[in-house]
A and B are shown apart, each in its own frame.
Chain A
Amino acid sequence: MADASLPPFPFLSHQKFAWTCEAFVWAFDQCEDQEDWRSARIVKSPTGPCLRIIREVRPDHEAPDPLPELEDHDSDPEALVRPPSAPFLTVEYDIHLSPTYQVPTLYFSIRDAFGQPIMSVDTIYRLLVSGYHAPELRATGIMGGLGMVNHPMTDRPVFFIHPCQTADALSAIGGEREVLLVEYLFMWMGVIGACVGLNVPLQMAQALGMTTWKEDIDSKDEVG
């Protein structure tokens, strides 16, 4: 099924990225019983399509196993403990194809109930980054692989994960095996999304995992 005119895995052409997003949204729409994401849809823009996933988190939520020093940062007003009844925060994840690195790039922002953006990196770490991922995110650069840029579509400042290591990470996981288009974003979320709380809902992974697995075996049969 590999087309020689398209860039090889893990790189995506614009067309392949668009297909990948469509397949992903289709899979999301099939699974009605998940409660983790509020929505997953494709947003069209002059700079190409973007997959937008919206999730809600409680302001007092803590990503699993946080690093202790992230909690008592006194210069961070948003880190104040709020009552459990505090309204939800909305996390908007936008996945774009990087025109340079040719892999999906993750942009995200958190807004409070009044629509005000939360800009504190420490709050982002507390709410979204699990203790397991924190050291690697902080390892390179000022805020690590996590930084801020102006969004390619809205031009507003948002957080992003620098895509320069994405291709290597995907290759390490995908390896020699043929990766199907529908699997691509599942795999990408496992590597990139999971760092900041974007995990494929379990029901969705289960629903899709069965079909993908079957196709994979079929293609192996043909070869053998």
Chain B
Amino acid sequence: MAGASTPSALQTQLWAGSIPLAIRLAKQESKTYESDVYLVYFPRISYLPLLHRRLHEFFFSSLIDQNVFPADGWLSYEDVPLKWHYPVGLLFDLYSGASEQLHDQSGVEQDQPDEILPWKLTLHFSDWPTEHLVRLDPDNDALRDAFRNSVKEACFLRHGSGKVIMSLSREDSTKLWLAVEQQNLAMFNSVNQKLLHPPGVSLRYIPLKVYLPAAAAVDSTDQPSPGHLRVVQSLVTPTISTPKGQTQTLGMALNTLLPTLFPSRRSPLLALPVLHGAVVPLSVPVETLAEVAAYADGFLHIAVVMMA
């Protein structure tokens, strides 16, 4: 592992990763037929509501109803309301269609075709989709709270209790979120290292969540709504319980969690795990992956993409 708060090259790269967004105002809310386009490179690890204030300002003069606030804002992609509590990188991997084009298993990066990038999103300030999204508030307390709950959950998984996160000072806890808002990796690591490696506490489970879009979740009983997700989660140990304590790879973990989608531990046959826009090799140890490639809340948020 690298020194206390020195980020690894990979982590630096992940934090620098951005998605070009092209945001238009919903037609029915716009005074003009063709709304202006707000273009932005938005960090993969960040959250959409952090854009709302700027979007509200940018589109204000085009709004038919100007009695709306930044917190009324929500974004959709092809009629799927985007869940603001997920990092935008995960949303992109799940919904943009870019993941489906990653079938090349050689690991060679491919340029995204023009029709996907920039990612074209629609902005709304009215008709909040109450069946899909939790409401936001003017101070983004709900967003901060969702982030903190997720950090807390990751800590609980890692060390089996809430002690580590509870012992974090208020200042550090504020800094952690501020680092995400400001994209400040050094500041982030100065706090996050305390959460990852508290003295005298051993690692129990790897914070990992696997996301299945409706297409992959064939056994869903409820009528799936647009963008419906099934989140699969279990207690994933860093080693598997053999006398030797063999290292757990992503393939082993996925084979245990979703045996029908990942019948082999070694090679993807039906589905691919996508993280930060890349297909993750099944042979990667989960502990190493969590150390360098977790999102800011400490979780490995892995999108599952069906192979054609």
Interface on A for B, CB 8 Å cutoff? Answer: 44-47, 99-101, 117, 119, 141-143, 147-150, 152-157, 162, 164
Contacts and interface: CB of A to CB of B under 8 A. Distances in A.
Nearest to B232: A47
Interface of B: 83, 85, 130-135, 137, 141-142, 144-146, 148-149, 152-153, 156-157, 162, 217, 219-222, 225, 228-235
A149 B134 contact: yes
**Chain B at the A interface: SS class:** loop
Contacts of B230: 46-47, 155
Q: Which of A141, A142, A152 neighbours the largest number of chain B CB atoms within 10 Å of its CB?
A: A142
A117 B134 CA distance: 12
B87 to A, nearest CB: 15
A47 B229 CA distance: 12
Contacts of A155: 132, 225, 228-230
B153 A100 contact: yes
B233 A100 contact: yes
A147 B134 CA distance: 10
Contact of A157 (B130, B144, B229): B130
A176 to B, nearest CB: 20
A3 to B, nearest CB: 17
Nearest to A158: B134
Contact of B217 (A46, A101, A150): A46
B221 A147 contact: no
A117 B130 contact: yes
15 contacts: A45-B221, A46-B217, A46-B219, A46-B230, A47-B232, A99-B234, A143-B145, A147-B149, A150-B134, A153-B222, A155-B132, A155-B229, A157-B131, A157-B133, A164-B153
Contacts of B156: 100-101, 164
A119 B130 contact: yes
A156 B145 contact: no
A142 B220 CA distance: 32
A141 B132 contact: no
Contacts of A154: 222
B131 A148 contact: no
A74 B302 CA distance: 43
B165 to A, nearest CB: 9
A32 B60 CA distance: 59
A45 B220 CA distance: 7
Contacts of A153: 222
Contacts of B137: 142
Nearest to A168: B162
Contacts of B135: 119, 148, 157
A150 B83 contact: yes
Contact of B141 (A100, A119, A142, A150): A142
Contacts of A100: 153, 156-157, 233
Q: Which of B134, B142, B157, B230 neighbours the largest number of chain A CB atoms within 10 Å of its CB?
A: B134
A149 B84 CA distance: 11
